[in-house]
């Protein structure tokens, strides 16, 4: 997402990477909830990993009960738009009233708490849209590692390639882009194997798993000093 250089102009609203003072890493899961999400939540409980879920309104409508489970398990919950359209094709009003607000209202009703983390579909967003989100107290969340788990999930070495990419690029404050939502009718079962293999390797490398909300609070605290 950092290919949008203008995001550097929004240091308070945009979070593309966390503070680098300690080996923390945030696993983020986009496009859900999907058919694989309940099993992913069980796996994360098993391995005691906190993560962040950026959910899409249309997917939430199909699996509303999963949102409460995400919250109950202590994960961070974010808005990934209502309909997963490229925001830069929308007017500011359509973006705000047709996409961000409906998804926020839906998620907050199910979660029972404010949802102020927003990740734009495809990372595409305009400066005016970032300004609007910031004015309403939202944080725009990007990523610092994209292992391409969305691409060719049926390739024979897909799981190993995704895991190796994350491990090779892992850095303190990293935000890792992963996907648990269905791709059309295709269920992303591979995400389970990816997480099962990835977590012990990152742990062995000394990383602690945090939510993006934790990274945001740590950054705000550092800025106040
Ligand atoms: Zn997405």
CA of 224 relative to ligand 1 center, distance in Å = 32
CA of 225 relative to ligand 1 center, distance in Å = 35
Can 97 be counted among the known catalytic residues?
no
The answer to whether residue 165 sits within a structural domain is yes
The answer to whether residue 2 sits within a structural domain is no
Question: In 3D, which of 202, 225, 222, 162 has the Cα closest to residue 17?
Answer: 222
Domain tally, the chain: 1
How much is the pLDDT for 152? Answer: 85
How much is the pLDDT for 1? Answer: 47
Give the torsion through C-alpha atoms of 86, 89, 93, 99, to 10 deg. -20
Whether the bond into 33 is cis, omega within 30 of 0: yes
CA of 191 relative to ligand 1 center, distance in Å = 15
Q: What is the pLDDT of residues 110-152, one digit of tens each?
A: 999 999 999 999 999 999 999 999 999 999 999 999 999 988 8
How much is the pLDDT for 72? Answer: 98
Q: What is the pLDDT of residues 53-76, one digit of tens each?
A: 999 999 999 999 999 999 999 999
The answer to whether residue 12 sits within a structural domain is no
Looking at residue 68, which CATH number applies to its domain?
A: 3.20.20.370
The answer to whether residue 1 sits within a structural domain is no
The answer to whether residue 37 sits within a structural domain is yes
Can 182 be counted among the known catalytic residues?
no
The answer to whether residue 36 sits within a structural domain is yes
H/E run at residue 30:
strand 24-32
The answer to whether residue 4 sits within a structural domain is no
Separation of CA 208 from chain center: 17
Query: Which residue in the list 4, 75, 84, 179 is annotated as catalytic?
Result: 179
The answer to whether residue 5 sits within a structural domain is no
- pLDDT means per 10 residues, the chain with 225 residues, are 81 96 98 97 98 98 97 98 96 97 98 97 96 98 96 90 98 98 89 98 98 97 89
CA of 188 relative to ligand 1 center, distance in Å = 13
How much is the pLDDT for 3? Answer: 65
Query: Which residue in the list 30, 31, 99, 149 is annotated as catalytic?
Result: 30
CA of 53 relative to ligand 1 center, distance in Å = 11
Q: Give residue 132's domain range.
A: 17-224
């Amino acid at each position: 997402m950092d290919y949008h250089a203008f995001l550097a102009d929004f240091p308070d609203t945009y979070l593309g990477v966390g503070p680098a003072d300690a080996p923390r890493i945030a696993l983020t899961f986009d496009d859900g909830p999907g058919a694989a999400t309940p099993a992913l939540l069980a796996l994360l409980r098993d391995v005691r990993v906190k993560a962040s879920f950026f959910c899409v309104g249309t997917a939430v409508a199909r699996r509303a009960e999963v949102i409460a489970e995400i919250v109950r398990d202590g994960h961070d919950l974010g808005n990934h738009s209502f309909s997963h359209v490229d925001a830069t094709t929308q007017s500011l009003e359509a973006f705000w009233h047709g996409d961000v607000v409906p998804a926020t209202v839906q998620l907050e009703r199910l979660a029972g708490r404010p949802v102020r983390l927003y990740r734009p579909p495809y990372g595409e967003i305009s400066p005016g849209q970032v300004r609007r989100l910031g004015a309403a107290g939202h944080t725009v969340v990007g990523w610092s590692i994209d292992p391409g788990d969305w691409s060719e999930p049926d390739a024979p070495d897909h799981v190993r390639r995704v895991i190796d990419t994350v491990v090779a690029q892992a850095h303190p404050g990293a935000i890792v882009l992963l996907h648990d939502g269905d791709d059309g009718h295709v269920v992303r079962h591979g995400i389970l194997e990816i997480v099962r293999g990835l977590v012990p390797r990152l742990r062995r490398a000394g990383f602690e798993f945090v939510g993006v909300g934790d990274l945001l609070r740590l950054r705000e605290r550092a800025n106040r000093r």
